[in-house]
Amino acid sequence: MVAPPCAMVIFGAAGDLTKRLVVPALYDLVRAKRLSQQFQLVGVDLAAKTTAEWNQGLSEVMSQFVAQSGGEFHVDQLDRAWRWLTDRMTYLQGDLNDPGTYRRLGDHLAALDKEPGTAGNYLFYLAVADRFFSVAISGLGTAGLVNEKPGQWRRIVIEKPFGHDLGSARALNADILKTLNESQIYRIDHFLGKETVQNVMALRFANGIFEPIWNRAHIDHIQITAAETVGVERRGKFYERTGALRDMVPNHLFQLLAMTAMEPPISFDADAVRAKKAEVIQAIRPMSEAEALRRPRAGHRGFLHTRRCSSRPVRGRWSSMGYPPEDPGLQETRSWSKPDSNSRSHLNEKPFRGR
Give the per-residue pLDDT at 248: 82
248 in the same domain as 158: no
Domain that holds residue 248: 192-336
Looking at 188, 213, 238, the residue that finishes a domain is 188
Over the stretch 252-261, which tens digit does the pLDDT of each residue have? Answer: 889 999 999 9
Q: 169 with 216, same domain?
A: no
Residues 216 and 174 in one domain: no
Q: Any idea which of 4-13, 216-225, 268-277, 317-326 has the lowest mean pLDDT?
A: 317-326
Q: Is residue 347, in this structure, part of any structural domain at all?
A: no
One domain, residues 144 and 34: yes
Q: Give the chain as a 3 state SS string.
A: CCCCCCEEEEECCCCHHHHHHHHHHHHHHHHCCCCCCCCEEEEEECCCCCHHHHHHHHHHHHHHHHHCCCCCCCCCCCCHHHHHHHCCEEEEECCCCCHHHHHHHHHHHHHHHHCCCCCCCEEEEECCCHHHHHHHHHHHHHCCCCCCCCCCCEEEEECCCCCCCHHHHHHHHHHHCCCCCHHHEEECCHHHHCHHHHHHHHHHHCCCCCHHHCCCCCCCCCCCCCCCCCCCCCCHHHHHHHCHHHHHHHHHHHHHHHHHHCCCCCCCCHHHHHHHHHHHHHHECCCCHHHHHHCCCCCCCCCCCCEEECCEEECCHHHHCCCCCCCHHHCCHHHHCCCCCCCCCCECCCCCCCC
| Among 8-12, 23-27, 284-288, the least confident range | 284-288
Q: Domain check: are 167 and 229 in the same one?
A: no
Domain assignment present for residue 75? The answer is: yes
Given 188, 222, 242, the domain boundary residue is 188
Q: Are residues 170 and 271 in the same domain?
A: no
Q: Has residue 1 been placed in a domain? A: no
How many domains does one find in the chain?
2
Asked if the structure places residue 349 within a domain, the reply is no
Instruction: Look up 305 and say whether it is catalytic.
Output: no
Average pLDDT over residues 78-98: 92
**Same domain (yes/no): 313, 227:** yes
Domain assignment of residue 350, yes or no: no
Residue 261: inside a domain, yes or no?
yes
pLDDT class of 191 with cuts at 50, 70, 90: confident
Last residue of one domain, picked from the residues 136, 162, 188: 188
Q: Is the per-residue pLDDT at 288 higher than 90?
A: no
- Same domain for 57 and 119? yes
| Choice between 18 and 337, residue whose per-residue pLDDT is larger | 18
- Has residue 325 been placed in a domain? yes
Stated pTM of the model = 0.76
Read off the CATH number of the domain in which 80 is found. 3.40.50.720
Q: Are residues 173 and 196 in the same domain?
A: no
Q: What CATH number should be reported for the domain holding residue 262? A: 3.30.360.10
Tens digits of residue pLDDT in 2-24? 999 999 999 999 988 899 889 98
Domain contains 341: no
153 and 184 both lie in a single domain = yes
Express each pLDDT in 306-317 by its tens digit. Answer: 556 556 665 555
Query: Residues 164, 252, 300, 346: which is the catalytic one?
Result: 252
Residues 199 and 139 in one domain: no
In this prediction, residue 295 carries a pLDDT of: 63
Which of residues 89 and 61 earns the better pLDDT score?
A: 89
Q: Are residues 28 and 91 in the same domain?
A: yes
Q: Average pLDDT of the chain?
A: 81
